[in-house]
Amino acid sequence: MPQQRFTDQVAFVTGAGGGIGRTTALAFAAEGARVVAVDRHADAAAGTARMVTAAGGDALAVTCDVTDEDQVRAALAATTAAFGRLDVAFNNAGVDQSRTTLEELTAEEWARLIAVDLTGVYHCIKHQVPLLRAAGGGAIVSTSSGAGVIGIAGQAGYAAAKWGVIGLTKSVALEVAGDGIRVNAVCPGVIDTPMMGRAFGEGRQGQDAAAAQSPLQRPGRPEEIASAVLWLCSADAAFTVGTALVVDGGQTVG
């Protein structure tokens, strides 16, 4: 029998329509959580919710653009209307940057990166905290990146947003720890998702280029990030506050 660390809890997952978000939503459901699958693409959110229910779980699909604070507020209101509470949240919605120098990076792309990857996390945490406080505590994990702990040429906008997520995480963690709310971040390295294909190219050549980024000589799997997120949200991590957990196969060690 799989471990059931989230029985009767409600998990809110953004960017749940695919990749790390979908995998993590399914992992929460497999451990007993009722899952709110949030994505800006309605069909993607609904697809994840169907996968949860097909496996015997309970899910709600919500369409939400995290750059719009009103939509985030409405998504969380839908969560409490459906399930009565919020216990854990994984703020994972994000976009990647085309590989361009800062001089080539347009103001429009900079604004898009900050709006989704940083301001979207701000919107989510801001409106999750009161619900977790009302529930007597809980956990929030947001997706930063290996790019949130090192510099990467050609990724200045993305890295700036992801470094910002860590600063936001650490600061809010100090503000709400006394309420029994633990706020942490996860920092994935190169993970085998569609984003990896965009960054390194499709096919064998792209796979080899991605694998070369890690001392393990392979990209990570979405399930390996989901495992880290569930641990951070669980009682097993009860003494873990304000951390940025790097899960990158050693990519940023050197």
Enumerate the active-site residues.
Answer: 158
Residues 6+ apart with CB under 8 A from 208: none
- Taking the C-alpha atoms of residue 52 and residue 231, their distance in angstroms, rounded to an integer, is 20
Helices within 117-186 (DSSP H only): 120-134, 156-176
Q: What are phi and psi of 143, to 5 degrees?
A: -85, 115
Residues 6+ apart with CB under 8 A from 117: 94, 95, 158, 161, 162, 164, 165
CB atoms within 10 A of CB 238: 10
3-state secondary structure of 250: coil
Tokens representing 73?
């507020």
3-state secondary structure of 37: strand
